Amino acid sequence: MNKAERIKRMKVPTVDPALAKRLPPGQVLTERFPILHEGEVPVYDMNEWTLRVFGEVDREVTLTYQQIMDMPQSTVTRDIHCVTRWSRFDNAFTGVRFRDFMQAIGVTPKSSYVMLHGDQGYTTNLPLSDLDREDVLLAHSLDGEPLTDKHGWPLRLVVPHLYFWKSVKWLRGFEFIDENKPGFWEQNGFHINGDPFLEERFSGEALPIPEDEWEKKEFD
């Protein structure tokens, strides 16, 4: 078979046109859920677990898991998009809306940027305006089941309108800061904002991420 023949016979991945506009440029739709992170999956003693809100705030607070579970709970169904090119549609995350969380703790920010802290030293930065939206959650469940350890249990951030590296797993802290400072991936070549529909993947030169890298990851 010559090359032209081979290309003609190639199975082109098709996306239902009704769904196509939900798929950002350069993304591939998957129904599986890849697992991606740096470092080890943390092991918790939930009696010791805390979530801290600190930095430029009128008062710092430290919360227990139970205090978060006692807050108003919401379920938000959204598509998610990873910078390594996979997208997964219709993920029903359950948890506390960032807005409801801030209201419940009664903390007033004195600055408009946030550094999010996850366990194992992971950080990512966001303007407060990207957190203060009706679909940003401190999530503990997906599709009606508790998150698995590898997907960020007991608590992960979900910021569905930005690439998924902003959605910190094993979330432990919101640090309010004066200016927008780059977090872990943002210091390592990723874009400071990360809007998938604008393809804000990298801060400069494209990083050498093979297009099929995510296919080789662990899934569940």
Q: DSSP letter string over 56-86?
A: SBSS-EEE-HHHHHTSPPEEEEEEEE-TTSE
Phi-psi group of 17: left, alpha or beta (phi > 0 → left; psi -120 to 50 → alpha; rest → beta): alpha
209 belongs to the binding site for ligand MTE (CB under 6 A): no
Q: Which residues contact 11 (CB under 8 A, 6 or more apart)?
A: none
Number of H helices, E strands in the chain: 5, 13
37 touches, from Mo ion, ligand MTE, none (C-beta below 5 to 8 Å by class): ligand MTE
State in angstroms the smallest separation of the CB of 184 from Mo ion: 11
170 touches, from Mo ion, ligand MTE, none (C-beta below 5 to 8 Å by class): ligand MTE
Measuring CA to CA, which residue among 33, 31, 39 is closest to residue 151?
33
Within 75-94, which residues bind ligand MTE (CB under 6 A)?
82
Residues in contact with Mo ion, shown as a per-residue x/- string from 138 to 177 under the rule CB under 5 A: ---------------------------x------------
Q: Which stretch binds ligand MTE (CB under 6 A): 7-15, 20-28, 64-72, 167-175?
A: 167-175
Q: Which stretch binds Mo ion (CB under 5 A): 56-64, 82-90, 144-152, 168-176?
A: 82-90
Give how far Cα 104 sits from Cα of 72, 101, 108, 134, 201, Å. Answer: 9, 5, 11, 15, 34
Q: Are strands 28-29 and 86-97 parallel, antiparallel or unpaired?
A: parallel
- The shares of helix, strand and coil residues in the chain, as percent rounded to the nearest 5, are 20, 30, 50
101 touches, from ligand MTE, Mo ion, none (C-beta below 5 to 8 Å by class): none
Q: Are strands 61-63 and 218-219 parallel, antiparallel or unpaired?
A: unpaired
Q: Which stretch binds ligand MTE (CB under 6 A): 18-26, 54-62, 68-76, 161-169?
A: 161-169
118 belongs to the binding site for ligand MTE (CB under 6 A): yes
164 belongs to the binding site for ligand MTE (CB under 6 A): yes
Residues in contact with ligand MTE, shown as a per-residue x/- string from 169 to 188 under the rule CB under 6 A: xx------------------
The single-letter DSSP state of residue 184 is T
35 belongs to the binding site for ligand MTE (CB under 6 A): yes
State in angstroms the smallest separation of the CB of 80 from ligand MTE: 8
Q: What angle do CA 110, 116, 118 make, to 5 degrees?
A: 145
| Binding site residues, ligand MTE, CB under 6 A | 33-38, 82, 118, 122, 151-152, 164-165, 167-170
